[in-house]
Structure 1
Amino acid sequence: MDLNVKTAAGAQTIQVSDDVFGAEYKQSLIHQVVTAYMSAARSGTKAQKNRAAVQGGGAKPFRQKGTGRARAGTSRSPIWRSGGVNFAATPRNYEQKINRKMYRGAIRSILSELNRQERLVVVDEISISQPKTKELVGKLKDMELKDVLVVSENPDENLYLASRNLYGVDVRDVEEIDPVSLVAYEHVLVTESAVKKLEERLA
């Protein structure tokens, strides 16, 4: 299949694989992979102490009878101040098993759907002469792009620095893209060399 490429000389086309940019849209697979990716980013370090883990409370706080109070065997009971927590949270791992074939299939499905919805914009190159946000804003405005992920094979430092202060704009190396970043933006701006690199990785 052909992809349109925006160049300074005008529109051109490049030949790409149907398996990568014309794959079937698999919503359930994308949902599973995106959920697993976001779950793996969770720290899972939340921890609380139950009554066994709270220090102290070994002695009976007062005698069983004659005080007029409810009987108590420890001052670390969950109903006491400074006591333990019922069903205390413990550290856990939120990672989900996703194999490589599923992950690559989800990326291909996302790229193909972006292409069908005309949200995948391919250019011959994207670079700026100096690390100025204003210059990058001007380039994106000329292409009528706001909420955009910029993917390049070797993005220069000027491009990174110029995009840091822009809301809704992110610059990634082609090796750094993930399913969450691809679905998070309205448009994905990809250089021609990055398209070829993606095709090699996902074919």
Structure 2
Amino acid sequence: MAVVDVLNSKGEKVSQIDLSENVFNVPVKKSVLHEVVVMQLASKRAGTASVKHRSDVKGSGKKLFRQKGTGRARRGNIKSPLLRGGGVVFGPDPRSYAYKVPKKVRKLALKMALSAKLIENELCVLDKFELEQIKTKEFNKVINVLDKRNVLLVTDAKDEKIERSSRNIPDVKVLRSEGLNVYDILKYKNIILLESAVKQIEGRLAG
């Protein structure tokens, strides 16, 4: 097992923790990480672009003028795509870009992302993170003591004080362990795991 130091909010070593080999020591394959990240980004696409087609445009269905004898081009009704205010021929309609990769692949990619952070010494374990009140200054003070920038902090449960205190700090995100995902792990340079969250992550991914 990989042994990692557990720090307190003052940056001091207080103990050590054994990280599961099955979760934090998995060979990294960029192709698997890429596949899952692309899936996540595709699922986030809005796909709400929409236009009015000929049948959606409000207007009379009457033929504008007779077919022959006027010397003008042949016209149908006022909703023709050739006229201003008419329907659009090949415009977009609302759609979903989401798709799924197998659950085993998603789980494997999550293990690979965590393993990559551990290999690159960009993973830190914190014994606990407690704030007396919602205060951005106090949250930022702990991050500065740990000397971390571009941070993803993973907690074991909802903590409103931590989540609200971090909102106005750029390049910092607080995420609960159940929402941990490949994209966020790779997006942020440093990952801080609460010691209590490590067990939850291992329990989720060990099987």
> Structure 1 length normalisation: TM-score?
0.91
Correspondences of 1:1-203 after superposition (within 5 Å):
1-7=2-8, 10=13, 12-203=15-206
Identity %: 36
SS in 2 for 1:47: coil
After superposition, the C-alpha distances for 1:136-167 in whole angstroms (9 at most, x for unaligned) are: 11111111112111111135322112111111
| Cα distance per residue 1:63-117 (max 9 Å; x no partner) | 2234342221222221211111121312212111222211111110100001111
Q: Which amino acid aligns with 1:98?
A: V
| Runs of 5+ consecutive residues of structure 1 not aligned to the other structure | none
CA RMSD of aligned residues (A): 1.8
Q: Which letter does structure 2 place at the counterpart of 1:35? A: V
Give the Cα separation in 2 of the matches to 1:134 and 1:155: 20
**Aligned-partner Cα distance in 1 for 2:100–2:140:** 40
SS in 2 for 1:154: coil
Where 2:143 maps in the other structure, the secondary structure is helix
Letter in 2 for 1:128: L
Gaps of 5+ in 2: none
3-state SS in 1 of match to 2:193: strand
The residue identity in structure 2 corresponding to 1:194 is A
Amino acid at match of 1:86: V
Deviates more, 1:177-186 or 1:138-147: 177-186
Please state how far the C-alpha of 1:21 moved relative to its aligned partner: 0.5
